Structure 1
Amino acid sequence: MTALSVLVNSVVMIGMFWVVPTGLALVDGPRPPGWDPLRRAWPLLAVPGALALWLPRSGTATALAGAYALATLALALQAPARLMLTRSLRPSEIAVLSALVAPSVAGLALVAERASYPLFGFDLDILALTVPHFHFAGFAAALVAGLVSRTSDGPAARLAALSVPAGTLLVLLGYFVDDWAELAGAVVLTTGMAAVSVLTLRERRELAGDRLTRGLLAVSALVLVATMLLALSWALGEATGLPHLSLTWTAATHGLGNALGFAVCALLARRRLATDPTSPALLPRTELPA
């Protein structure tokens, strides 16, 4: 197992065990039947997926990945169920719905990668990187974009809520087309992330009532700008041939920073906002996972 594999697997486990259930606990509005049991059981449902990451590619690893993929599919089915309850396609709601679907893409990629099957012609390294991408850019970033956009009705909020999921989808479609299409997706995604950063800094000023929460919001906003510039640089280099970091170094810098510096810090901050009775935050006060 390479150093990159160890890094990617460790990051994916954070996404599986903590990011997904913590993010789900921050979603307000009507909850379809099965939402709370699924959220509470998620760390247990993530165990087969985590085991599959560390086992050699084999039938056993594929079966374990398949069990996790079924859990991600159950989460994806919460999206149409929620839509039937909310009957809303507001930008913030679109971001939340896309977040619910994103882990299923990661689950499918994990099954294919563990089975040594080049799904849609993608090599195994790309499939392996798709797993963290759709836990963090697909799920966490879209969810945070939806949450921050609920505190504002301005253009930046709508831009963030729509362009983060759209950019993630365009990057995925770019894999099927060419490097220029992938670059276009990276531009859209970076634009949306920049809007998230601006809104997060506004939240830091207007909503955060303590130093730690303000610090977490600041770190998540500033790290987000740096990591997305790295991703944009890589996509530009792939399309034009300009010098850029290798895929390994991009995963180690952009990927790790996006996961820990942005997603984890952003969700920790919003968890604090949601449970602080003195905070003026507009986020829901929901039961949070232990």
Structure 2
Amino acid sequence: MSILVASVVMIGMFWVVPTGLSLLDGPRPPGLDRLRRAWPLLAVPGALSLWLPRSGLSAGLAAVYALATLALAYQAPARLMLTRSLRPREVAVLTALASPSVAGLALVAERASYPLFGFDLDILALTVPHFHFAGFAAALVAGLVCRASEDGPTARFAALSVPAGTLLVLIGYFVDDWAELAGAVVLTAGMAAVAVLTLRERRDLAADRPTRTLLAVSALVLAATMLLALDWALGEATGLPHLDLTWMAATHGLGNALGFAVCALLARRRLRAGGVPAVPAAAPAHPRTESPA
């Protein structure tokens, strides 16, 4: 795995996932807080595997992290049992909880030099950051902006199209480049809605300059990086000239990781510290099941 991709993945493992989990409000499944607190420790074997040669040892270390991602994916149905809701913002949160498990399984296969489902190792390597950022971070932020916008039509579109686009891109891996292009179109449209809503948050909710700057950077970088993703998917489907995977990792991948995900989550931590709520789930069917945020 390249130094750039490994470094981006470590940002997702050690900071993006636990920070994103800390922003969740509403009913919390048993064990979610313990898993969040333990996450940086659970990420250590996965991070070590990134820097070792592909081997049984690195695959075994990756498997430890994969088990943690599967434990996180289990929190999705557990949360659904508490909320009993499939409102758009909740669909986005459930998608975020499940997405790292795809990254974990891809990491194990790539470290073991196993072409899982016939995918070559380079694709598997890029799947790992993709489902930490386009999967977990983007879906979570879509849920955050949906809550902040009080479930308006643009917010609902963002909260549904980001998970749908992520799923369609994954399905496109198994079908063909045109199916992947369709997923990229849906995902880009959802991300564009997220960018618009983020700029609205900057105007309406952010009182201080650092928070406004972080929100603006995350929105503008998101728009630029998703245009690159759309261009790549179009080029793959039609044969038109486009950036190769190395340049996509250096532009789209790095931009999404640092410019979008990190800035967006930092901004929302600041908003939360200033009294703006993050993502409460829909009201649970039984009030007793709701725990304090």
The normalised TM-score by structure 1 is 0.95
Match of 2:197 among 185, 196, 199: 199
SS at match of 2:211: helix
Q: Name the CA distance, whole Å, in 2 between partners of 1:242 and 1:61.
A: 37
Q: Name the amino acid aligned to 1:102.
A: S
Partner of 1:247: 245
Partner of 1:112: 109
Q: Name the amino acid aligned to 2:278.
A: L
Q: Name the CA distance, whole Å, in 2 between partners of 1:114 and 1:256.
A: 22
Q: Name the CA distance, whole Å, in 2 between partners of 1:272 and 1:151.
A: 14
Match of 2:278 among 278, 283, 288: 283
Q: Deviations over 1:8-67 (max 9, x none)?
A: 000000000000000000011110110111000100000000001100011110100000
Is contact 2:218–2:259 with CA below 8 Å preserved after alignment? yes
Q: Deviations over 1:57-88 (max 9, x none)?
A: 11110100000000000000000000000111
Q: Name the CA distance, whole Å, in 2 between partners of 1:257 and 1:283.
A: 24
Partner of 2:144: 147
When the two structures are aligned, how many residues end up with a matched partner? 281
1:46 is the counterpart of 2:43:
yes
Is contact 1:175–1:182 with CA below 8 Å preserved after alignment? yes
Shift of 1:113: 0.3
Structure 1 residue ranges (4+ consecutive) displaced by more than 3 angstroms after TM superposition: none
Q: Name the amino acid aligned to 1:155.
A: P
Q: Name the amino acid aligned to 1:246.
A: D
1:60 is the counterpart of 2:73:
no
1:11 is the counterpart of 2:12:
no
Is contact 1:274–1:284 with CA below 8 Å preserved after alignment? no
Q: Name the CA distance, whole Å, in 2 between partners of 1:192 and 1:282.
A: 22
Match of 1:177 among 152, 175, 178: 175
Match of 1:31 among 14, 28, 31: 28
The normalised TM-score by structure 2 is 0.94
Q: Name the amino acid aligned to 1:161.
A: A
Q: Name the amino acid aligned to 2:20.
A: G
Shift of 1:138: 0.4
Task: Name the Cα RMSD after superposition.
Answer: 1.4
SS at match of 1:149: helix
Q: How high is the sequence identity, in percent, across the aligned residues?
A: 84
Shift of 1:282: 3.4
Shift of 1:284: 6.3
Partner of 1:78: 75
Partner of 1:89: 86
- Which segment drifts farther, 144-153 or 193-202? 144-153
1:168 is the counterpart of 2:166:
yes
Partner of 2:188: 190
Higher RCO (Cα < 8 Å, 6 or more apart) = 2
SS at match of 2:278: coil
